[in-house]
Structure 1
């Protein structure tokens, strides 16, 4: 699946092999797949993820500001739309069925692992350039695409989390992932040339990707700990 999201992502993913495995096969994820995840953990995760998506949307809006090309601008704008008008809507609808209103979601306290992750990504973008921000953003967007595609193929028929899985496995979200992956490839070539891994900047970009991946692991664990 990583190849569908571009060569840069595949390289970053390989450079973060251990945390990437821990992220994409976390016990929380496997609980979604086989249906064993406690509903309380899932709802606690959704509340925090709603808070996360607000900041994540701001980070993609920052990417729009830091763009150099029309392709970068279009992809950043499309991703903000997908986050604010689609993905956050799933959280609102799911939580509403369990008595949690949108106002309660918006007012929810941001827990420490969430705070650490969102501020890390925003700081990468504010203190760095477009590539620093993309390296920190990529694990969430593309990791959820990879997780969704795998779980759609492997999920238990009776898992109660089929709607969540379908959101990230469907053609619309996979199309966003492919567009983001292609855009990152173009951004890397535009700024670092044909041999980006030889650039002195490459290790910093890999470090951003790896750190953000570990923060994703912590985010899943936050959900499990709330059960």
Structure 2
């Protein structure tokens, strides 16, 4: 069992509620209300900005140059690549970058992003990466499963591009790299005394991810 598997096993119910939430199930079926998805996209844009800050914090928290460079790569990818792709995708849904920048963060967005940053500020690189894991790894796990749902990738499904993006080879490679990094950090940092807090970080972040889906669903 990998360390990530242990995290999921210890938070099985929360992980199921997040990865099998009605929001993503309706995406696969193509039945999610359009307004719910558009609201999610705007909040996800705001989330990515805070996500970049979290990886910038990871640079500061990194104990060696190798980890610093990994986190720097993540910051650059989010700001210089992923944000641009997200903006292009949102424009296809009739959302401008100016509109998204002017949007107010929902309470669920604030709660999740502040929790991750607080975990990193109070703790070390291990605390931070565990708090980030439900997003980084979860999206790949969710999309890979949704891609197997009959008709989920059909052109008639407006959410097929999202599923294809996160179930694609590039993202799944990043997901596996994140799992490997977690295993390495666990070997270096995990002790019996720390285990309950680490498991709690993962569980809290996972529940906050589920709240993020619920936020979108309720706006639909």
Q: TM-score range by the shorter chain?
A: over 0.9
Name the residue aligned to 1:209.
202
Can you give the 5+ residue segments of structure 2 that lack an aligned partner in the other structure?
none
Task: Determine whether 1:226 maps to 2:215.
Answer: no
Name the residue aligned to 2:135.
140
- Deviation by residue 1:50-89 (Cα, 9 ceiling, x = unmatched): 0011101110111121112344223322322332233323
Distance 1:107 1:220, change over 3 A: same
How many residue pairs were aligned? 217
**Superposition TM-score, scaled by structure 1 size:** 0.90
Task: Determine whether 1:188 maps to 2:150.
Answer: no
Return structure 1 stretches of 4+ with deviation > 4 angstroms. none
Which of 30, 36, 60 pairs up with 2:55? 60
Can you give the 5+ residue segments of structure 1 that lack an aligned partner in the other structure?
none
Task: Determine whether 1:94 maps to 2:92.
Answer: no
Name the residue aligned to 2:164.
166
Secondary structure at the counterpart of residue 153 of structure 1: coil
Name the residue aligned to 1:179.
177
- Deviation by residue 1:165-192 (Cα, 9 ceiling, x = unmatched): 1111111111111111111211121223
Q: Matches of residues 13-162 of structure 1 in structure 2 within 5 Å?
A: 13-156=8-151, 157=154, 158-162=156-160
Q: CA deviation at 1:155?
A: 4.8
**Superposition TM-score, scaled by structure 2 size:** 0.93
